[in-house]
Every structure is written in C-alpha cells, then in structure tokens.
Structure 1
C-alpha cells in the first residue's frame, strides 16, 4: 500500500505573493479547507508544506503556503504533485478504495480465471472503470459496480469480478 496519496498537482503560480493554482486529484475538493499540511515531491525535492490559506476558483484550488511569499519561490514547483499521508486522507466509506491501493491488484473471475492486473482506473462520472492488463491480451474494462465487483482484498492483493455479458 502507498503511504502517500496524491491530492493535487500544481499547475501554475497565481499572482506574485507565492500562491499556486492546484488541479485537485481528489474526489472531495472541499477537503483542502481542512488540510493543514501537504507534501510536495517532484522527484528532486521532498518538502513538507504548511497551508496558510485556501481559495477556490472554477475547477482549481488556490493555495498559499506558509513561508513562501514570492512568485519566484514557487515557480520551480509547476507540475509538482501534492500528497497527504494516509493518516490525513479522507475516511473511506464501505466499498470505497483509494485508487493507489487498487493499482496492481491481481484480478480473477468468479470462475477462477486469471484476468490480469489493474493497471489504471478511469473516472467516468457515473462509475469508475477498472482497466485490467494481461500480456498478449486486449485490455479488459470492468465497471466498478456491485454486479461486477464481487470481492476486493487489498491486503491479499486480489480482486474477484463477475464478467457481465458483453464485457469481453
């Protein structure tokens, strides 16, 4: 399981006082109001940042970090992802999972057939769709609905699915 969960990506600066525009990658955008800290990890730098203020503009979140008061200090963080620790993540409801925990799960049918592993999750609005990859086989797309998803075992690394007619 991932220890850090992505909540957004810095897209650009906002103004000259060190604010940044963040594209949220979380289902609950209002969670930014409750966040106190985020972790910036752009591959070169791993930095804990304290959130000073939060604003919302269209589909973006505008964040101001404590101690960063100049556009020049945040310019280098464009396209950098922002993470939270698992302890600071939004609590999940029953049958809800973090995408990071689903990626890599081994998928088997309810008839015992090895279907591959979850490679990605499409968020369509109506329901998520799991993209299942297997060598030398066309990708399998399985909707994340109760009729298809029979069992998810994050600890065991497996998911059992029922393939409705027409999914192959």
Structure 2
C-alpha cells in the first residue's frame, strides 16, 4: 500500500505573487483549509511545501506556498502532483477505500471464477464505476454498488463481484 496519496495537481499559476491553481483530486476540496503542508512530486524529487494561503475559485483551489513569492519561482511546477501522507488523509467510512488501493486488485466472481484486474475507478456522481480488464483482454465496467461489488479485501488483494444481468453483453 502506497503511503502517499494525491490530493491535487498544479494546473497553472495564478497571478504574479507565487500562487497556483490546483485541480483537486480529492472528494472534498475544502480539506485544503485544514492542510498545513503538502509534498510536491517534481518527477525527480519530492519536496515538502508549507501552505501559507488557501482560496477557492470555481472548481479549483488557489494555493500560496511559503517561500514562493513570484510566478517565476513556481511556474516550473505546472502539471505536478501534490501529495499527502496517509496519516493526513480524511478518515474513510465503512465500505470506503482510496482509489489507489483498489487499482491492480484481482476481481473474482461470486462463483470463484477469475474475472480480471481492476484497472481504474471512474467517478460518475451517482456511484463509482470499476473498470476491469478481463482475462480475455476485453474490458467491462461494473457499478460500485452493493448488489454488484460484494466484498473488497485489501489484505488478500481481491474484489468479489456478482455479475448482474446485462453487464457482460
């Protein structure tokens, strides 16, 4: 299990005083108000950044990092991920998992037959949808609802599903 979770991606600079627009990859962008620091993944290294200011604009979060006071100092990080450690993550409820923990899990049908590997989780608003690459190479989309996803066992790395009528048509 990865100890770092992505909470956003720097999409662009904002103004000339070192602020950045961040596309949040968390369900609750208001959580940035409680964060005091994030980890910037530059691709070559990971840097701890202290959050000095948080604002919201449309679907974006505007962040100001301590020590970055001009557009020139911060614009090179456009497109880079902002991460946090698991201990700073929001507490999950029952039957909730981080997407990063689901990717790569083996998916088996309730009769024990291996279906394939979970490759993506699509956020639809109503319910999530699990994308599964089946053992025959095809892909199937499974609604992440109790009638279909029966169990997620992170320790055994297995998702057990019930194939509802019409899902494989």
TM class by shorter-chain length? over 0.9
Residue 41 (1) aligns with residue 41 (2): yes
Deviations 1:61-113 (A, max 9, x none): 00000111111110100000101100000100111100000001101000111
- Partner-residue secondary structure (3-state), 1:90: coil
SS in 2 for 1:68: coil
TM-score normalised over the length of structure 1: 0.98
Using the size of structure 2 for normalisation, the TM-score is 0.97
Q: How well do the aligned residues superpose, as a CA RMSD in angstroms?
A: 0.8
- Whether contact under 8 Å (2:18, 2:70) holds in the other structure is yes
1:97-136 → structure 2 map (5 Å cutoff): 97-136=97-136
| Count of equivalent residues | 168
Task: Provide the secondary structure at the position in 2 that maps to 1:32.
Answer: helix
- 1:137 matched residue in structure 2: 137
* Offset, 1:44: 1.8
**5+ residue gaps, structure 1:** none
Q: Any runs of at least 4 consecutive aligned residues in structure 1 with deviations exceeding 4 A, and if so which?
A: none
Q: Which runs of 5+ in 2 are unaligned?
A: none
Measured after TM superposition, the shift of residue 135 of structure 1 is 4.3
